[in-house]
Amino acid sequence: MRLVFLSYNYSAQINSPEEWIDKIGFYTGWAKIMAKEHAIFRIDQIDYEGDIERDGIRYHFVKDKDSIQYLPHKLNRFVKSLKPDGVLVSSFLFPIQVLLLRRCLGKNVKILVQNHAEKPSSGLKRSIQKIASHSVDAFLFNSFESGMQWVQNGNIDSPEKIFELPEVSSLFYPLEKSLALEKTQVTGSPVFLWVGRLNHNKDPKTALSAFIKFSECEPGAKLYFIYQTEELLPELKAMVEKSTLKEKIFFIGKVPHHQLLYWFNSADFFISASHYEGSGTALCEAMSCGCIPILSNILSFRTINGDSGLFFEPGNPEDLFGILKKTSQMDMAKEKARVLSHFNNENSFDSISNKFQKIAASF
């Protein structure tokens, strides 16, 4: 198979191919596995022109100003020159470009489109997406239900084109906890970890409210917050100030991504209270380290996590408090093993590669 991964998005802020390849590592791991047996190409648009090969994948970096508009003729002709059997387009936010790609490639090359947590468009764009969907052979969504929302909304022409494929996986792995603790200096038993923005959608206030109540009956428990944005940080700190838990709740802030390996391996539980999520990158990373997830009961988390971990009603601190109490009686070693098993079987790069190849062979 000759497969081209194609993005019509232009990331002008990045001018280093190495930086870009490292940045998208949680997307490309399964392509590296496929590259052992297939010809794999990536076409990405950053502030750099040139080619590079890494892990068997041939990367082509272009700065095609045309493609930022609606008529990427040069870019599409380059895709055709690679003589692909299939092209995997990143996102359906570029329906006109997809229409032109089909015209350029002809009818024999398979076109697949991967959703990256985008919601269905409305108005004129919805109509254009519906027309363009006739040119697409398959749409890949994190969950079948998410794809059906696009069909029911009138953006995609047929439910038969919807396939389920995890969007991302994780480069992390389990470590001896003592080694991780040397790096993080985390203390407490059990240890809970939050990784994500501090905004209303992520809803850290629900997580913190439940933990404050839980810590009254579990005095050894500690909660650590790692976050990229600080929208609700003043409110969260005010909640802690009103409690008697200043030595049990820690606001760490940003940490370099590679160091999250040690944080996930230092924690017993990973908490996420999101009202909406797409790829669930932090969740995948937590699971790959055996960190037990405690999650809001939303579609994407259910799809990623299956029956491992624990779920609570979104925005309901009382329900989360009840879930936290269950952790006191949990066999954590057994549950950790179950989380790791589920991740390896359903969300690892090997698993995604196998699933994609079955999808590609089905039409």
Contact 170, 258 (CB under 8 A): no
**Domain regions of the chain by residue span:** 2-169+349-360, 177-347
pLDDT digits (tens, 9 = 90+) for 236-255: 999 999 887 888 999 999 99
2-169+349-360 belongs to which CATH class?
alpha beta
Domains 2-169+349-360 and 177-347 share a fold: yes
pLDDT digits (tens, 9 = 90+) for 104-151: 999 999 999 999 989 999 999 999 999 999 999 999 999 999 999 999
The pLDDT score that the predictor gives to residue 208 is: 97
Mean pLDDT on 1-15: 92
**DSSP classification of residue 327:** G
Helix (H) or strand (E) holding 296: strand 292-296
Distance (Å) of CA 307 to CA 73, 292, 321, 337: 46, 12, 20, 13
What CATH fold (topology level) applies to the domain 177-347?
Rossmann fold (3.40.50)
Phi, psi of 166 (to 5 degrees): -55, 140
Kindly list the strands in the beta sheet with 191-195, ordered across the sheet, starting from the edge strand earlier in the chain.
Answer: 249-253, 222-226, 191-195, 269-272, 292-296, 310-312
Q: Across the chain, which distance is largest between two alpha carbons, in Å?
A: 67
The separation between the first and the last C-alpha atoms of the chain, rounded to the nearest angstrom, is: 14
- Six-digit token string for 109: 């090359």
pLDDT at 284 over 50: yes
pLDDT digits (tens, 9 = 90+) for 64-109: 655 455 678 889 999 999 999 999 999 999 999 999 999 999 999 9
Kindly list the strands in the beta sheet with 110-114, ordered across the sheet, starting from the edge strand earlier in the chain.
Answer: 50-54, 57-62, 39-46, 2-11, 86-90, 110-114, 138-141, 162-164
Please tell me the total number of residues recorded for the chain in this structure: 363
pLDDT digits (tens, 9 = 90+) for 17-72: 999 999 999 889 999 999 999 999 999 999 999 999 999 999 999 876 554 556 78
The pTM assigned to this predicted structure is 0.91
